[in-house]
Amino acid sequence: METADKENPVISKVEEKDASSVVAVAGHPLHAMMVHFPIALVFSTLGADIMYWWGADAFWLRVGLWTTGIAFFSAIAAGLAGSAELFLVPGIRARVASWAHAIAGMSLIAVCGANWGGRFFLQIEVLPHGLLLTALACVLTGLAGWHGGKLIFDHGIGLMVSPKD
């Protein structure tokens, strides 16, 4: 029996469009390879900020500055690869979920930029402002990461099925 979704002509039209990854190296989608860096470094910054709160050792300020900076620039790089997929692939562009994920990703990049730029250019206090920005970045990382996973596993977006499969 046909499902209600299959009978919906709008959904059928979206499903007809190809949603395979085009920004890839040797069959490996680039965005999926790059997102691990901001994810790991945002949570490393949380660790560094908590260590600074706990022991007031200035070493952790320097660690936090580096981790939040690399999180910001690696998130920009990942965002560029993700945006290329979004603009170039008709089946990705046509799905509302892809745009919702892009908004979560852009919000994360903005907060990482504020966190690193604030520390580097404005010398904001890590306690509490830096730590609060890091906490917000962790929440947004969770949202963007979880939603990115949904794009792959629920919507089948950005896959590269090998001819061997």
Q: List interacting residues with ligand HEM (CB under 6 A).
A: 21, 29, 31-32, 35, 38-39, 75, 78-79, 82-83, 85-86, 92, 98, 101-102, 105-106, 108-109, 141, 144-145, 148-149, 151-152, 157-158
Shortest CB 157 distance to ligand HEM, Å: 5
Task: Residue count of the chain, please give it.
Answer: 165
Token readout for 97 is: 């979920």
Nearest-angstrom CA–CA distance, 59 and 48: 9
Non-local (6+) Cβ contacts of 37 within 8 A are 70, 71, 74, 75, 77, 78
Q: How far is the CB of 61 from ligand HEM (least distance, A)?
A: 24
Decide whether 52 or 114 has the Cβ nearer to ligand HEM: 114
Residue that the structure tokens 């790089």 belong to? 77
Cβ 49 to ligand HEM shortest distance, Å: 19
In the bound state with ligand HEM, the residue whose beta carbon lies nearer, of 66 and 73, is 73
Q: Closer to ligand HEM by CB, 130 or 145: give it.
A: 145
> Mutual orientation of helices 131-153 and 96-121 as an angle, nearest 10°?
160
| 12/4 Cα distance (integer angstroms) | 11
Q: Closest separation between CB of residue 117 and ligand HEM, Å?
A: 17
Closer to ligand HEM by Cβ: residue 69 or 105: 105
CA dihedral 53, 59, 61, 66 (to 10 degrees): -140
Minimum CB separation of residue 94 from ligand HEM in Å reads 12
